[in-house]
Structure 1
Amino acid sequence: MKLENLISKGTNANVYRDGDIAIKVFNKDFPKTEVLNEALNTSRVEETGLDIPSISEVSIIDGQWAISMNFIEGKILYQLMKDNPDKLQSYIEQMVDLQLEIHSKRSPQLNKLKDKMVRQINSLDCIDNIKKYDLLTRLDGMPKHTKVCHGDFNPKNIIVSNDKLYVLDWVHASQGNASADAARTYLLLSLDDPKAADLYLDFFCKKSQTEKRYVQTWLPIVAAAQLTKNKPEERELLMKWLDVVEYE
């Protein structure tokens, strides 16, 4: 297969369009287990009834692993927010409604979010053992929920098509606490646009009837998890966020 119509370029993969199919082609050195895990996660989420791009094939193209799924014509929400700042509140509200729909679903076979966070925190070498212990103790004390969590829910992973929102990239999907998922979204938004982040948190807490302070207790934990991405431009802010809420 000859891939010519490049529609998205990423760190680990590029996405091409072939008619009604989008083909995500991973870098040659990208682990096979990660590709298969993404395909499996996406399939499990699709089984919940959420309207997401449906995987049709996992294959190898010119020595590179690839996932094929149905193509959704539309615009990335992140770009729409930048192009239409007057509509920011409306976009954020739609985004929260979509996230709450995701959280209403259950998928018992997805990995547990808490287990993943424990592994991420333990893998960090930029914080000392005392800080790790504090974070792991806090994480262990959090309520154990089984809601579907996207794990990377932000405007760059949402396509708007005919006024309907679709979520992409389910590689980090898990089952766990919705407020942990919300705290991560808040953190990701804060790295780019603090105003949008605060607006998001207000809407999420109001619509989900969640105490803002409770979501904030997750922030040091999700900041530590985000540090494992090793993005130099995020490091300074994330290190500050490890202490954003005083430990009790």
Structure 2
Amino acid sequence: MSLPNPSTFIAEGASAAVYRLDGGRVLKLFHEGVDAGIVAREHATAQAIQATGLPVPRVFRRAEAGGRQGIIYSEIEGPNLLHHIVRHPHRIGWAMGAMAALQRAIHGHDLPALRSRKAILAEDIEMAPIGDRLRAAAIDRLDQLIEGDRLSHGDLHPANLIVSGDGLAVIDWSKAARSAPAADVVRSEMLMRFGPGQSAGMLEGMLRDATTAYYVGRYRKLAGTGKAGLAAASAAGAGRGLCRLSDRCVAPRRTAAAGRLMSLVDGGGRFVPRRCRPADAVPRSSKRRAQHRSCRYSDIETGQRAAR
């Protein structure tokens, strides 16, 4: 097939660009120089994951355009979860809860044919442009990481989740592998706290910490996992300067501020003004009761279905 029209461009990443085709399909066209073996592995992985029944794009076939390798997928219409949060900030609690539930569902599958996360990380460390001392320290930490046998996405964050009419769907499985669930959660946590697109502002850091802490808390509750298990995975899988789930990775002021922000999120995943209190805590004075009655928030759904 010929190269797609530039007007059909959707997005671009480090290894490929995505273009819209007809019939509700998209072409993930890999950049020149990407090894054909990488494309073949992603295609095979996509087929295996599709067979699990998880909410993922349907994979059609491999393709070639202008001498470049590609894969044709079905298009899932809707904004990604990050854009959804920006447009509907009051739904951030629901968004993190839904992301945690979907990640938990992903970890419920076992695909033995996938590569080991530890093996992938070992290759990455060997190829990284770092000094020998840091490389040796990273390998030592990696050796402490549990191997694990569960399906993991490896790059799960709000920009890789689509809010469709049927709920959340997961895209970009290029980093999928076998691993311990805790390692996958830690990876998501680090991406959300320290990933690209952030400024050096304290407020943004506080918001990232608060949002991520809520997501991790929801995952822990769903999985019945304590802090110790996830903290161990974080300590083993992350090098110096990366986050530990014991919440000691950020400055005390930033952690405390994040905790105050999360006190504004109620159990249903809604942001509630600080002055709002439960009914059994309404003050006796008429003035304070009137203030309580005037406190309202949107009655948004917080269940399994995503917003359309």
Give yes or no for TM over 0.5.
Answer: yes
Which residue of 41, 62, 67 maps to 2:71? 67
Q: CA contact under 8 A between 1:48 and 1:106: conserved in structure 2?
A: no
Where does residue 231 of structure 1 map in the other structure?
none
- Number of aligned residue pairs: 231
Where does residue 185 of structure 1 map in the other structure?
188
Q: CA contact under 8 A between 1:151 and 1:174: conserved in structure 2?
A: yes
TM-score (norm 2): 0.69
Q: CA contact under 8 A between 1:6 and 1:16: conserved in structure 2?
A: yes
Where does residue 229 of structure 1 map in the other structure?
none
Where 1:126 maps in the other structure, the secondary structure is: coil
For the pair 1:55 / 2:71, whether they are aligned, the reply is: no
Aligned letter for 2:63? S
Q: CA contact under 8 A between 1:48 and 1:107: conserved in structure 2?
A: no
CA deviation map 1:155-175 (0-9, x unaligned): 111111115111011111111
- Cα gap change, 1:222 to 1:156, in 2 (>3 Å): farther
Using the TM superposition, give the Cα deviation of residue 181 of structure 1 relative to its aligned residue in structure 2, in angstroms: 0.2
Where does residue 91 of structure 1 map in the other structure?
95
Using the TM superposition, give the Cα deviation of residue 84 of structure 1 relative to its aligned residue in structure 2, in angstroms: 1.4
Using the TM superposition, give the Cα deviation of residue 122 of structure 1 relative to its aligned residue in structure 2, in angstroms: 3.3
Using the TM superposition, give the Cα deviation of residue 134 of structure 1 relative to its aligned residue in structure 2, in angstroms: 4.5
RMSD (Å) for aligned C-alpha atoms: 2.3
Q: Percent identity among equivalent residues?
A: 25
Structure richer in strand, relative to its length = 1
Where does residue 14 of structure 1 map in the other structure?
17
Structure whose CA Rg is larger? 2
- Cα gap change, 1:221 to 1:172, in 2 (>3 Å): farther
For the pair 1:210 / 2:225, whether they are aligned, the reply is: yes
For the pair 1:153 / 2:152, whether they are aligned, the reply is: no
CA deviation map 1:4-40 (0-9, x unaligned): 3112222322111112111111112222222222112
- Cα gap change, 1:126 to 1:91, in 2 (>3 Å): same
Which residue of 190, 195, 202 maps to 2:210? 195
Q: CA contact under 8 A between 2:160 and 2:170: conserved in structure 1?
A: yes
Taking the aligned partners of 1:29 and 1:138, their CA distance within structure 2 comes to 32
TM-score (norm 1): 0.84
CA deviation map 1:165-219 (0-9, x unaligned): 1101111111110000000000001025222211111111121111223212333
For the pair 1:118 / 2:133, whether they are aligned, the reply is: no
Aligned letter for 1:147? R
Which consecutive unaligned segments of at least 5 residues does structure 1 have?
225-238
